[in-house]
Amino acid sequence: MASGAAYTVRSAVWASDEAAIFAVRRSVFVDEQHVDPQLEWDGRDAGCFHVLACDIAGRAIGTGRLLQDGHIGRMAVLPDWRGRGVGGDLLSALTEEARRRNLTAVHLNAQLHATGFYRRAGFRVAGREFMEAGILHCAMRLELEH
Chain segment 20-50, per-residue pLDDT in tens: 999 999 999 999 999 999 889 899 999 999 9
CB 2 within 8 A of CB 89: yes
Q: Do β-strands 2-3 and 71-77 pair in parallel, antiparallel, or remain unpaired?
A: unpaired
What class does CATH assign to 2-102? alpha beta
3-state secondary structure of 119: helix
Tell me the pLDDT tens digit for each residue of 129-144.
999 888 999 999 999 9
Confidence at 68, pLDDT banded by 50, 70, 90 = very high
Q: Is the pLDDT of residue 4 over 70?
A: no
CA 91 to chain centre: 6
**Residues sharing a CB contact under 8 Å with residue 19, sequence separation 6 or more, in sequence order:** none
d(CA 52, CA 50): 7
